[in-house]
Structure 1
Amino acid sequence: MKELEKRIHGFIKQELEIYRTHLMKRNIKNNNVEKDTWNLKQGVLNMTQYFLKKMNHEDLAEALQKELIGIQEHALKCKLSEKCCHVCEGIAQQGESTILNKIYTDLYITEGAAGQVNKDHEVRLIQKNNVKADAGELQQDVQIECKNMFEPLPEQERPIRTVLTQGVAGIGKSICVQKFILDWAEEKEYKNIQFIFPLPFRELNLKKGRQSLMDIICFFFPETEGLRLTDQHNVMFILDGLDECQLPLAFQKNNNMNNVSEAAPLDVVLTNLIKGNLLPSAQIWITTRPAAASKIPAECVERMTELRGFNDQQKEQYFRKRITDQVMANKLIDHIRESRSLHIMCHIPVFCWISATVLQKILEETESEETPKTLTEMYTCFLIFQAVQGNMKYTRKNAFDIPWDKEAIMALGKLSFQHLEESNLIFYIEDLEECGIDPSKILICSGLCTQETVRFLGTVFSFVHLSIQEFLAAVFAYLSLKNDNRNVFEPQSTSQESKTTELIDFLKTAVDKALESDHGHLDLFLRFLLGLSLESNEKLIRGLLTQTGSSSDCRKEIVEYIKIKFKENPSPERSINLIYCLNELNDDSLVKEIPEYMSSGILSEAKLSPAQWSALVFVLLTSKEKLDEFDLKKFIRSEECLNRLLPVVKEATSAL
């Protein structure tokens, strides 16, 4: 009993400190703060004295334990509310964070998703979902609101313990989790849950040694010190970022355990928690990128969901929330609609933020015809915006005066390129130091990178989105060749240092490398690299170049080289990416031919070249018209036609 009294007094002291900090951080000037904290303390003390007088030993212990849990729950909610109420885009400087509830836009979540490894590049997955959305196919899917993630559907009898939510990088998984936690902490939703413990894998990676589940909880959430969780508590664990997990998660090999206080390797603790051996009544929410979804055995998951980002209506809602000037918001939305490539990418919330950051600034200062229309233009302008932020206003007329930090950009680019093949978005201090990046100066990369200091464990770094990493990798590769005559695709040696590599040969090598990939990890990198070779984009980064020159002849040659590659019959995904590459090179000759064929009605007789077939598939898949029913009879009757158009058949709601 004395031990319980001691613990409760310790929690009162801790609760008061959290309460004061909570009010001070919110800048609440309240003369009643001292009075309120005194009342809180006095109320608990009075309750304790009442229990001591009126109850026997067992009743007192139980009552004190309930009182402790109430205090711990409140303390945890205060901490998580403070942590989750703001959202930081990039590395937030003081005063730059945004209130989450002001800009949060609901995301499109559906039940059901493939649990196997998905080898498609994530931008390709976005493009597929965009086609389904335009075709009305998503309307047939079961849509789930975030707040109902653990609610069984009418036909589902079993309660849902474990939910696995997958979605590509930047699609909004972590923000969705943050909003879920905030609604609980502010007691707007999920009032039946006593404790929510968010445990991101990027933080768990740094936890070493043997520990029990309670040790892990108390380490990350000191407010729970002394808590003894049992199956009677309503608890939720949120394991965010399975794709970032560096543990083996050996579900089959790890020993079973059911004691929350038993110490074991972290991998054993996590697999037993997910399997339900530890706290079987606890709810588990796991988020991941598609490629890592198969790390969790299917039998351990009651519900698979897929987060598909913004549909067209939600895109507009986001821009109107983020940009208070509605005239400006309308101009931005109209510009996005004009570019199919940009419009498709805006299914990714992070890309919406990038677009808003770039376009709002440019539309204020330039004519609409000068605004970015390709991905390379958008990301180059975004890089410029980050370079000049806080120093000067950017217009294309003063590109010579941009205050580039060449050393920092090249170091970031090196980091990006070296980790691109594994699509690794998470970096630690040793990774940065290996590439010559001073972790203490990472703030210069605000908007490109994020950093998160994990309690007592160190600092974790990441790019805001995989596409930013791919763009920086392309910048690094392009500048390495132009400035230092270094071909990043070739191993460096003394004999090769004096070897001259022409730009056109380098670009051809990049095309070949991208086509060799079975999962397209270089697809977006290639689009950026080719886009940077255009004179118009090269002018934007001229401050990073030691020498410049006309690349018009190079452009013509690489366009012809890409068109030849269609004859090698690459996969439909690679072919479509080649069309996007031509778009980055401002060549739409292939795509323009197709509407003429379609309007003339001769597609049922025309024998198309491989490049024309790819262009036809591209036009059909990216058309704004719905693919409710695809009629193959409109095309020439041949085995080649069927094979070439299979990607369209697969994406259509129905096909004749």
Structure 2
Amino acid sequence: MKGLLTHIGNISYNEEKTVEYIKIKIRVNPSPEKSINLFHCLNELGDQSLVSEVQKYLRSGGLSSARLSSSQWSAVVFVLLTSEQLDEFDLSKYISNKYKENHMTPDEVLLKLLPVVEASRSAELRDCGVTDEGCTALSSALRSNSSQLRELNLPGNKVGDAGVKLISDALKDPRCKLETLRLSDCRVTSKGCAALSSALRSNSSQLRELRLSENYVGDRGLTLISDALKDPRCELEKLRLRDCGVTDEGCAALSSALRSNPSQLRELSLSGNKVGDAGVKLISDALKDPRCELEILWLRDCGVTAKGCAALASALRSNSNLRELHLSLNSLGDRGLTLISDGLKDPLCKLEILTLWDCGVTDEGCAALSSALRSNPSQLRELSLSGNNVGDAGVKLLSDALKDPSCKLEILW
């Protein structure tokens, strides 16, 4: 630019005046995004004054506690966009933990840095105080033509159903490329689930992973999400619903979805829900269906007993795709483990990871498990029995199984 300006006919060129003129343009332009080209001009002219001013704030952290002018915010955006570390945007780096010192809310800081969010592949906003106001900005970023965002992490924010609705609307836009959305502990209810369900059924949604743990989803919310899973346009592969107030009623809708022909779901977590044996029976019935593609199932602390294990064992003996089963913190006892062990012996069982910590197992259950580990078709590679009263006798039984050439176990804890 400098070389070009010095050769324009007889027009006199004053570099200092040009720099000052550009700075004035930056000051009167409230949009950091629109000021980027002007900063490139300053950079070519060798003026780093504005950039140098903001770099000290970036090094110290807590931009929200600094009183930055609009031109300084534009400089912040320029510095971040021209850095080489744009893979992940982490809002916590730019807000102060001492909220009383902040001159801007997290939502306001997010809005100022929106061009950086758009240019990043991942946005980490965990526990940052973002509300539905911030979701308005995020929705805009997701729908921009230049958006590179593939992963959005919002756990621990008060986005609520209103914020989820804004994000869901963006998911329907063909310009949105988001693949992972994490909304744990975001005050989402069945109303928010309705918006997400609609988004999952849109032609444009590319979402592969959805986390809704620690929200008030309930059976109604799960039914709405399950309806979306049945839709051939839904490409969701991972769904986490830990501690969401789900019961066996919600499992009925989910079971139906898992058996639908287009279901792409590979990983499901229902840990911390009161699904009980009745809910496990419904999920197990779905696992037997050849249309079910589920490979990972989390059922920690779900009120499962030996009765639920009978249903799971039956599923393991079918042509199931299940590779991981997590049953920790359930009252399975030796009877439940014996039933699961019978399933492990079946040549159709493909289970590779089984976690059973704190399940009321003793050396009696270890006897059945030891027998299963020595069976020729057993595919088990990882086993957890921590927190059980297996004792020396149980350890001896498992050790004997490990010596057997048929045992494929690699990790035991």
TM-score (norm 2): 0.36
More helix by share: 1
